[in-house]
Each structure stands twice: as C-alpha cells, then as structure tokens.
C-alpha cells in the first residue's frame, strides 16, 4: 500500500471513530419518555420506563413522615397513578409537567424511583415588591453602571 492509501485509510478510521463518538454522545443526552397513553396501550410489568405528563390537579398526596408521595400523571387522554417514596423536587406541583423514572407494577400503578420536575426555560426577574433588597444595585454593578 502506498503512502496516500495509508493516509486515506488512517483518515477514514479517525473519521469513523469521531462519528461514532458524536452519535453515542447525542443518543445518550436525548431525554425520551413515554406518555400515559403509550404506557396504558402496552404496559409491561417490571419493565423500566421514563414516563412524562402533567400532574393532575387534586391528585397530589404527600405524607412527610413516611415520605410517601402519590399523584396522577396525564397526557390529556388518559392518566396513570404514580407512587414514589422520597421527597419531591422543589418545582414539583399540581398542574405542572413532570417526568418520572421507574417501573409499571402488576397492581396497576407506576412505581417511580426518580421524579424530574419540568420547568420553563425562560427566566423572569422579580418585579416590584418581589425583588430582594439590593437587587437593583446588583444589576447596576453587573451592567457596569455602578461602582462595586
């Protein structure tokens, strides 16, 4: 094999390895979940799922002493009862989005091992009375309008 052939073969191997690393990184960072309708259509007891939906109003029950949490996730078409042992995330509330990881049980509920509260990607600064003392002064220093 001549020098050019070796160079092309080596370059091809490097490109293939780089393409695989990019593919593996992207596929691991994708957060996919099933909806309550998809889970209800083909539930498999004991199988690990990531389930996403909205926490239905008036469904959230929290027992702080035993750390028992139960609620219902819905996608607007169907709903799934969820049970979790542990403290819920700070942003977790009725009427908000959530993604839970866990397993479907033979008893007909989803046993969650992890709860991830979904939230808006938009940051809104506090207004008026909500602003913490010193908030405006901090903004001035960050914008370079004040003396630190």
Question: What pLDDT, on the 0 to 100 scale, is given for residue 90?
Answer: 87
- For residues 26 and 63, membership in a common domain is answered with no
Q: What's the pLDDT score for residue 6?
A: 87
Tell me, yes or no, whether 24 and 42 share the same domain: no
- Which among 88, 28, 79, 86 is positioned nearest to 52, based on CA atoms? 79
pLDDT of residue 148: 47
For residue 112, what pLDDT is reported? Answer: 96
Q: Do 48 and 71 fall within a single domain?
A: yes
Residue 73 lies in a domain: yes
* Helix (H) or strand (E) segment spanning residue 41: helix 36-41
Q: What is the domain count for the chain?
A: 2
pLDDT at 70: 96
Centroid of chain to Cα 46: 21
Q: Coil, helix or strand for 42?
A: coil
Range of the domain at 8: 1-30
The CATH number of residue 73's host domain is 2.40.50.140
Q: Are residues 96 and 49 in the same domain?
A: yes
Q: What is the mean pLDDT of residues 125-147?
A: 59
**Do 9 and 64 fall within a single domain?**
no
Range scoring the smallest mean pLDDT among 11-15, 44-48, 80-84 = 44-48
The reply to whether 45 and 111 lie within a common domain is yes
Residue 99 in any domain: the answer is yes
CA 70/CA 73 separation, integer angstroms: 10
Contact between 104 and 46 under an 8 Å Cβ cutoff? The reply is yes
In a domain, 132, yes or no: no
What is the model's pLDDT at position 123? 63
């Amino acid at each position: 094999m001549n020098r050019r052939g070796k160079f092309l073969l080596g370059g091809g191997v490097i490109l293939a390895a780089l393409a695989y690393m990019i593919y593996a990184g992207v596929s691991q960072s994708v957060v996919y979940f099933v909806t309550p309708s998809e889970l209800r259509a083909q539930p498999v007891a004991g199988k690990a799922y990531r389930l996403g939906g909205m926490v239905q109003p008036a469904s959230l029950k929290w027992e702080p002493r035993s750390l028992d949490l139960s609620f219902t996730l819905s996608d607007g078409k169907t709903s799934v009862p969820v049970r979790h042992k542990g403290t819920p995330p700070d942003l977790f509330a009725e009427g908000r989005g959530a993604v839970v990881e866990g397993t479907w049980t033979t008893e007909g509920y989803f046993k969650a091992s992890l709860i991830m509260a979904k939230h808006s990607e938009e940051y809104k600064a506090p207004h008026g009375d909500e602003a913490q003392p010193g908030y405006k002064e901090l903004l001035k220093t960050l914008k370079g309008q004040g003396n630190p």
